Structure formats: structure tokens, C-alpha cells
């Protein structure tokens, strides 16, 4: 038996100090972090947070890869970690009125000759239905919009069926906006409508709307006319 405390330094993210979630490794130096942590870090820097090596001069997100084997190990070592993450994702979608994505159903293993192989239990991962990653960029607020909280997380992964209306609800909740404050959401040169889905926007506007695989949405705050 091995004490979990002895393994903890090897399964902790050095950015958030928590256990790896969606473990992601930098290919240049092989240091690993939570995916959300390293993506957020690369928005401000192109260097590894641990060894300070330059990952890529302009596009550090090109040099990261998911480490599913390590994530499987973390989920098996840390009791209830997988279940907690699954519940948090469920609550996230329920609070925003979005359909909760269903985890992928494990495929049956075809029978094979020889010694039977032990089949490990499935590990909960972000399902393919969450096919759009968005970057929310604040472009300012005019006078009279009142006090509001800065958005803590700019990176969000959602279903392509989510609409601009869902994005606005997310911003209002997170920024604690006054009802009189109007949220304008823009992609490229296009002012977006509430009914438009993220998948439609990406298809219509094309690659000019995408940066490092992220759909870039800019939002500004104005006072609604009387």
C-alpha cells in the first residue's frame, strides 16, 4: 500500500494547487497542469508556469496535449474526485437553464481469444456535445452602467446549440449586472442576436471568428434606452 500523501506532489496542478482536472501536458517540457489553468495562463504568457521555458513564440496552445492516462490515475487515486467534477458540471448547466450533456456510453468490448482482459471502469470526460470553446473579451462599458464584477473566467466550453441569449444570461449572472444594463455581444464586425446559436455563428462568420480554436466573442455594456 502507498500513502496518497506520497503521490500528491505528482498529481497536483502547480497553478491552482488542486488535483489535476482534464490533465494537459506541454509537449516542450512535459510539465502538466489542469487544462483550464494552462489555457488561462497562456492568454497572458507564452512560457511554462513551472520551468519558464518559451512554449511557442506566438501560439503556445498549439503545444499542449491531453494526458488521459494521468487523468485516469488521478481519478482512481483520489476518492470521489470524479463524482464531484461530474456534479459540478451538472450544476453548472442546470443553473444556466442549459441541457445537461450526457456522458459517453462505454462501448462493449468484442470477445477475443486467449486470456480475458480486465476492463477498467469508464472515466467521466467532457462529452463531444460540448463542441464549442469560447473566449469572452470585454470591450468596455459606457457611463451609467453602474457597478459590476469583472468576469473571472474568460474561457467557457459549451454546446454549439447554446445561443447568444444563453451567453448573455451567463454574463449577467457572473458580473451581477443591473437589469437596466444592456449587453451587446459582437463577433468580428457582427452584432449578434439572442436567437443565434454558437454553431451557426462559427459556420457563418468562419475562421475569422476563431483564435487558437476558440470562438472569440466581444461584449460591451451600455445603458438601455428608456
User: Which residues contact residue 138 at a Cβ distance below 8 angstroms, ignoring those fewer than 6 apart?
Assistant: 150, 151, 218, 219, 220
Residue 223 bridge partners (DSSP): 181
Domain 9-96 falls under CATH 3.40.1280.10:
no
- Determine which of 7-11, 140-144, 149-153, 161-165 has the lowest per-residue pLDDT on average: 140-144
Q: Would you say residue 139 has pLDDT above 80?
A: yes
pLDDT for 121 equals 41
Whole-number Å distance between alpha carbons of 160 and 38 = 23
**What is the pTM (predicted TM-score) of this model?**
0.45
pLDDT for 115 equals 55
Domain boundaries, the chain: 9-96, 131-223
Cell of 74: 488521478
Beta strand segments in 91-196, E:
132-141, 155-158, 181-187, 190-191
Domain 131-223 falls under CATH 3.10.20.90:
yes
Q: Which tens digits make up the pLDDT trace of 93-121? A: 777 777 666 654 445 555 555 555 544 44
CA 219 centroid distance within chain: 18
User: Backbone dihedral region of 114: left (phi > 0), alpha (psi from -120 to 50 degrees) or beta?
Assistant: left
Cell of 90: 451538472
pLDDT for 120 equals 41
Q: Would you say residue 191 has pLDDT above 50?
A: yes
Amino acid at each position: 500500500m502507498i500513502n496518497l500523501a506520497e503521490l500528491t506532489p505528482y498529481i497536483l496542478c502547480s497553478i491552482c494547487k488542486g488535483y489535476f482536472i482534464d490533465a494537459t501536458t506541454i509537449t516542450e517540457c512535459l510539465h502538466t497542469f489542469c487544462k483550464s489553468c494552462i489555457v488561462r495562463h497562456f492568454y497572458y504568457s507564452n512560457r511554462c508556469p513551472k520551468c519558464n521555458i518559451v512554449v511557442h513564440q506566438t501560439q503556445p496552445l498549439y503545444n499542449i496535449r491531453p494526458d488521459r492516462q494521468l487523468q485516469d490515475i488521478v481519478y482512481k487515486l483520489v476518492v470521489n474526485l470524479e463524482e464531484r467534477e461530474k456534479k459540478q458540471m451538472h450544476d453548472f448547466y442546470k443553473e444556466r437553464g442549459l441541457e445537461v450533456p450526457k456522458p459517453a456510453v462505454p462501448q462493449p468490448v468484442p470477445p477475443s481469444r486467449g486470456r480475458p482482459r480486465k476492463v477498467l471502469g469508464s472515466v467521466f470526460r467532457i462529452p463531444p456535445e460540448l463542441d464549442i470553446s469560447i473566449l469572452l473579451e470585454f470591450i468596455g462599458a459606457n457611463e451609467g452602467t453602474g457597478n459590476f464584477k469583472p468576469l473571472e473566467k474568460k474561457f467557457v466550453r459549451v454546446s454549439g446549440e447554446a445561443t447568444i441569449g444563453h451567453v448573455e444570461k451567463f454574463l449577467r449572472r457572473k458580473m451581477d449586472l443591473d437589469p437596466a444594463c444592456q449587453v451587446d455581444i459582437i463577433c468580428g464586425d457582427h452584432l449578434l442576436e439572442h436567437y443565434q446559436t454558437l454553431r451557426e455563428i462559427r459556420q457563418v462568420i468562419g475562421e475569422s471568428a476563431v483564435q487558437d480554436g476558440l470562438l472569440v466573442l466581444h461584449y460591451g455594456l451600455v445603458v438601455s434606452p428608456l
